[in-house]
Amino acid sequence: MPYSDLDPSKFSLSKIVATIGPATDVEETLRRVIENGASVLRVNFSHGSFEEHAERVRTVRRVSDALGKPVAILGDLCGPKIRVGLVKAPGIQLTAGQDFSLRTDIDESKDGETPELPCTYEPLAAEVHEGHRVLINDGAIRALATGSDGSTLRCRVVVGGLVTTGKGVNLPDSDISAPAITEHDRACVRFGIDHKFDYFALSFVRRGEEVRELRSIIEGHCAEADCGGSLDATRTDPTIPIISKIEKPQAVERIDEILEESDAIMVARGDLGVEMDLARVPIIQKILIQRAHDYGKPCIVATQMLETMIEKPFPTRAESSDVAGAIFDGTDAVMLSGETAIGKYAPLAVQMMRRIALATEERLRELPQSSRPSEVVRESRYRTAALAHGAWHMVQDVDAKLVCVWSQHGGSARYLSRIGLRVPIIAFSSSEAAVRRMTLLYGVTPVLMRTLPEHRSEFAKMVDEFVLTRGMAEVGGMMVLLAGKPFGVPGVVNTVSIRRVGEFAATGG
């Protein structure tokens, strides 16, 4: 059944990212996807035209406005994907032990005893050395490089399969010089800014400087557009937050420098599972979630979470355990890809993910709780982070049912979401962009308030009326409030207080 974020009995603290595509092009389907719990919608720039994306964005905004439910749009940039070129139909079958070559100087495949396959990456033969792994079609076909000559890379098949046009090529052992941001990515950034996207995801990140490069491109465009502020209170320039996709071994090795530059990360287990030992992916996932927490940055776990639901109306037991495990590990959000982009049961997949999240969070509330101040944030001595830490203790001491905060750009809400609270965080702002972006934060329900309170007591009265009219708490129950003044200005939160629900309604302020 559809639910409201403001129904405390059905409030999921974990967030759901859902990819939109042909399966959600029917407006009623998209409406049910949002009603069932998706708070961030992903546009995958690897598929579809700008015209198709623009129409989907317009539909998302229209449905979001009609429901009165803020929804963020995440633009997932393609990055430097290496692919096999044109292969004659029906494809070329490679068998174990067979030799073949990848060539950058041919436009079409050549069959024979030693097949030749075209490749889109010009420096291939120079950067892949003997003994390096060459993986095709998400690792389904595996080979080892045996040598190179000019524009030709010679390989020997270890695990065979059918090669067809456009299949991806992964080179996990090679130091690839391909730029992290392609010309197509730059066009996608311009498109996303023009259409008021809320996040960009950077694919195949290898080092922190690549995130800085994307930020420079975004901020260059934002100087001429209304991009809104950053969730990071230390950044003052208009920008759009960046989610770094961790899917290469180099990114895992340099995770700290990448987190330093990013606004959030995504554990992209598809390519990560191709490029690294599959047995280690669950361990790496736990490590990445923990490091994101240490830096006070949101984390999304993605890829094949409910894959079965592309074709069936229910997941496997292993898939539901996978979603629960990620939430137990502390992820902020879990993501659906093909399940909602091309699946037969898109709304049902979102509903199932929310049901798993609710059941997992119910168990988490039964376990002993402890404050989880972010390591790097604590070392920064930032005032709002200290207030958030204090708010956690207040919630435990008085058994508060809600935490409410005025968070103009979302920075204070982000600190609260990272502290380990098991109660809803209601974050108010007068910024539409900030309200949409806060939909990614664990535990946070963002609320747009177009009228700014003039002082803290007026804000407390506003909160009182809001939670009472929506049945979010009972009269006399405890809640914790954080605010600062002047309202509407980021970075001024400096007070935390304990209030009884209905206190201002009873006294008139």
Which residues fall within 8 angstroms of residue 432, CB to CB, at 6 or more apart?
Answer: 70, 228, 448
Q: Could you give the dihedral angle defined by the CA atoms of residues 186, 274, 74 and 121, in that order, rounded to the nearest 10 degrees? A: 10
Q: What is the longest distance spanned by two Cα atoms in the chain? A: 88
Going along 249-347, which residue ranges are E strands?
A: 264-268, 299-302, 333-336
Q: CA torsion angle for 363, 365, 367, 368 (degrees, to 10)?
A: 170
Please say whether the beta carbons of 41 and 52 come within 8 A. no
Q: What would the DSSP string read from start to end of 429-455?
A: ES-HHHHHHGGGSTTEEEEE-SSPPSS
**How many angstroms separate the CA atoms of 121 and 118, rounded?**
9
CB 47 within 8 A of CB 79: no
Catalytic residue, from 19, 24, 303, 340: name it.
Answer: 303
Contact predicate 105/70, CB 8 Å: no
Instruction: Give the DSSP H/E element, type plus range, for residue 158.
Output: strand 152-159
* Among the listed residues 345, 268, 358, 273, the one whose alpha carbon sits nearest the alpha carbon of residue 307: 345
Single out the residue of 367, 368, 407, 369 nearest to residue 387, CA to CA. 407
Q: Does 83 qualify as catalytic in the annotation?
A: yes
Catalytic residue among 42, 56, 69, 167: 42
* 42 among known catalytic residues: yes
Peptide bond into 179 cis (omega under 30): no
State the catalytic residue, choosing from 32, 142, 245, 354.
245
Contact 56, 20 (CB under 8 A): yes
Contact 295, 377 (CB under 8 A): yes
Q: Catalytic pick from 10, 61, 81, 83?
A: 83
Rounded to 10°, the helix 346-366/317-329 angle is: 50
Query: Catalytic site residue 461?
Result: no
Cα distance between the two ends of the chain: 38
Q: Is 76 helix (H, G, I), strand (E, B) or coil?
A: strand
The DSSP element (H or E) to which 101 belongs, if any, is: strand 99-103
Whether the Cβ atoms of residue 403 and residue 388 lie closer than 8 Å to each other: no
Token representation of residue 100: 């073949």
Strands (E), 373-435: 402-406, 425-429
Instruction: Measure the CA angle with vertex 177, ends 172 and 181; round to 5°.
Output: 100
Residues forming the active site: 42, 83, 245, 303
